[in-house]
């Protein structure tokens, strides 16, 4: 869902005002239409994930604080293997015409700006042109990627998920595909999942409420210290097996996963698209423990501790230079905690991560060789605090502050400042669900997000995707995003 735009900012910026006015007029017209529609609609049209809403007849707001984010009822439903546990979960109870598929895409208008980008002093380059720092701005109507989501039960206590997903140019991959045996021996504490799936992150990046290029990811979930060849991101779906369990209201949960050391790649590579590099034969481990407490009228407060321990290859067995198998595995880990705190209509999501890579990963050299001088095991501390205020089930206000500090650079050098790679990010926005039918959902989404990265481009990869001319320079990358997020 994230894209880079070409370096054509000078021309675009001059013509920026006109599309903005057009967009504003269009937005006003749409809002007026929506307002009239919403006001005339019965309130029962307040609802969300259509595949399950259609199956069980529940409003989507039953499972989502604001879709796609799950509330506790939705979490229990998910933990139970997409079952309500009311003897109506097996497909034999479904209407034969029911088919468990949902579509999601977001037509949008967005504007991306990045500062301190190296651009040609003479457009087109050529003789006499040098690279100079400049702002780059791009804007226009656009599409997000698309999710074609299917999930449900194959039988009582056997559930599945299949999620082919595309980028805006319709290049498809399998975002997730798994089967799960639920409630083994009648116990909710034993559930076994097999396939490609999202890690048990209390604060899910797959079901969160931000969509813009900069705000649409948690930077911490994908961060690696600059220079490290580690490609791990805790927000990325991984491939392997998971054993998990929970109590009846999911106030106590655990998960233990054994995963291939290939960042969820398929075809025994490190990518779920063609062109991935051969993966190693090693495995990673992830475990998470979650506990919630009820604070009466305030709501429940949930906390999670997690740890991921993995390996990545530092060189490859090759044939004529073509990698065949990753070798020389060196370790890394990520540990931290997360929270989901409720204060009536206000929800706060704190998150913290400490990351550590082996020095060979940081230096990017085969572990069969000696480390270069100045190489260190890189470390970082990252985290965010996200706030959501639910004016009603149909309107949620959003905000987030995120910070990542590199504790130890991969190389100690006079040319590399101590804050090289540090990230500071802010996002605000709101989602309004003007018409939320029980069989589909529409959200009117507005968001502004800005990220500052020292000496590098933000993880979101927007802007021109180029680091600044000097490693001491900060790159401010901002996104304005307006769109209709719909789900059927």
Partner 1 sequence: MTLKKLAVTFALGSMALVTVGATSVLAQSHVNSPDPSLGAPSVSSAESHIGNMTGHAGEGKQLYRRYCIGCHGPDGNGEGMNAQWIDPKPRDFTEATFKCRSTPTGTLPTDQDLYDAITRGFVTTNMPAWKPLTPQQRADLVAFVKTWSPRWTKGKAGAPLDIPAETPITIESILHGRELFQRLECWKCHGPEGHGDGPSAITLTDDKGNPIRPYDFSSGSRFMCGTTNRDLYRIFMTGLDGSPMPSFADVVKPNEAWDLVHFLRTLQPLKTQEADLWMAYRAAHGADLKPIGPDAAPGGQ
The residues of the shown chain that bind partner 1, judged by CB under 8 A, are 16-17, 20, 24, 27, 31, 34-35, 38-39, 41-47, 53, 56-59, 61-62, 71-73, 75-76, 84-88, 95, 111, 113, 248-250, 294, 296-297, 299-300, 391-395, 397, 429-430, 432, 434, 437-438, 444, 446, 448, 478, 480
Encoded tokens for 235? 């927000």
- CA 277, CA 269: separation in Å to the nearest integer? 5
Encoded tokens for 429? 């926005």
Least separation in angstroms between CB 432 and partner 1: 4
Nearer to partner 1, 270 or 478 (CB): 478
Nearer to partner 1, 71 or 409 (CB): 71
Nearer to partner 1, 77 or 420 (CB): 77
Nearer to partner 1, 139 or 416 (CB): 139
Least separation in angstroms between CB 467 and partner 1: 22
Task: Check if the beta carbon of residue 64 is closer than 8 Å to that of residue 50.
Answer: no
Least separation in angstroms between CB 35 and partner 1: 5
361: Cα separation from own chain's centroid: 24
Output Rg (C-alpha) for the chain, integer angstroms.
23
Least separation in angstroms between CB 119 and partner 1: 17
- CA 424, CA 254: separation in Å to the nearest integer? 31
Nearer to partner 1, 71 or 157 (CB): 71
**Residue 369 DSSP code:** S
Helix (H) or strand (E) holding 17: helix 17-40
- CA 2, CA 142: separation in Å to the nearest integer? 11
**Residue 439 DSSP code:** T
- CA 342, CA 322: separation in Å to the nearest integer? 52
Nearer to partner 1, 204 or 238 (CB): 204
336: Cα separation from own chain's centroid: 17
Place of tokens 């919630």: 292
- CA 161, CA 51: separation in Å to the nearest integer? 12
Within 10 A of 295 (CB to CB), how many other CB atoms are there?
12
Place of tokens 């990325």: 236
Place of tokens 């579509």: 103
Least separation in angstroms between CB 399 and partner 1: 12
Least separation in angstroms between CB 106 and partner 1: 17
Nearer to partner 1, 194 or 488 (CB): 488
Least separation in angstroms between CB 117 and partner 1: 15
Helix (H) or strand (E) holding 309: strand 300-312
Least separation in angstroms between CB 306 and partner 1: 22
Within 10 A of 294 (CB to CB), how many other CB atoms are there?
11
DSSP strands (E only) in 53-156: 64-66, 69-70, 101-120, 131-155
- CA 151, CA 165: separation in Å to the nearest integer? 14
Least separation in angstroms between CB 324 and partner 1: 49
83: Cα separation from own chain's centroid: 25
Nearer to partner 1, 209 or 353 (CB): 209
Nearer to partner 1, 406 or 480 (CB): 480
């Amino acid at each position: 869902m994230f894209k880079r735009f070409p370096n054509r900012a000078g021309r675009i910026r001059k013509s920026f005002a006109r599309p903005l006015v057009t967009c504003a007029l269009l937005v006003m017209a749409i809002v007026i239409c929506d307002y009239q529609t919403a006001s005339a609609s019965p309130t029962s049209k307040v609802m969300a994930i259509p595949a399950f809403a259609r199956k069980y007849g529940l409003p989507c707001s039953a499972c989502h604080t604001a879709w796609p984010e799950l509330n506790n009822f939705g979490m229990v439903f998910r933990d139970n293997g997409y079952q309500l546990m009311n003897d109506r979960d097996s497909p034999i109870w479904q209407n034969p015409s029911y088919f468990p598929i949902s579509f999601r895409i977001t037509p949008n208008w967005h504007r991306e700006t990045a500062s301190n980008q190296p651009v040609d002093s003479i457009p087109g380059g050529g003789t006499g042109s040098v690279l100079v720092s400049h702002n780059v701005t791009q804007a226009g109507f656009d599409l997000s990627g698309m999710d074609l989501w299917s999930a449900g039960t194959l039988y009582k206590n056997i559930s599945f998920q299949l999620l082919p997903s595309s980028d805006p140019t319709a290049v498809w991959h399998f975002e997730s595909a798994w089967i799960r045996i639920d409630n083994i021996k009648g116990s909710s504490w034993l559930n076994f999942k097999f396939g490609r799936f999202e890690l048990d992150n209390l604060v899910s990046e797959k079901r969160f409420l931000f969509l813009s290029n900069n705000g649409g990811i948690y930077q911490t979930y994908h961060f690696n210290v600059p220079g490290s060849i580690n490609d791990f991101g805790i927000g990325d779906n991984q491939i392997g097996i998971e054993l998990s369990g929970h109590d009846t209201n999911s106030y106590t949960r655990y998960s233990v996963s054994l995963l291939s050391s290939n960042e969820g790649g398929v075809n025994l590579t490190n990518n779920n698209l063609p062109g991935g590099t051969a993966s190693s034969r090693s495995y990673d481990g992830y475990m998470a423990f979650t506990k919630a407490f009820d604070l009466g009228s305030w709501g429940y407060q949930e906390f999670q501790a997690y740890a991921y321990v993995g390996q990545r290859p530092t060189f490859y067995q090759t044939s004529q230079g073509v990698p065949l198998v990753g070798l020389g595995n060196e370790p890394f880990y990520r540990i931290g905690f997360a929270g989901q705190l409720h204060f009536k209509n206000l929800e706060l999501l704190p998150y913290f991560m400490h990351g550590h890579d082996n020095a060979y990963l940081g230096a990017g050299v085969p572990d069969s060789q000696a480390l270069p001088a100045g190489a260190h095991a890189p470390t970082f501390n990252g985290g965010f605090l996200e706030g959501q205020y639910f004016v009603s089930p149909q309107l949620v206000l959003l905000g987030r502050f995120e910070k990542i500090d590199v504790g130890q650079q991969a190389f100690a050098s006079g040319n590399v400042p101590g804050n090289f790679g540090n990230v500071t990010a802010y996002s605000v926005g709101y989602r309004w669900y003007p018409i939320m039918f029980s069989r589909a959902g529409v959200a009117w989404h507005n968001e502004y997000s800005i990220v500052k990265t020292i000496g590098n481009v933000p993880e979101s990869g927007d802007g021109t995707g180029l680091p600044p001319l000097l490693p001491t320079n900060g790159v401010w990358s901002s996104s304005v995003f307006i769109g209709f997020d719909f789900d059927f």
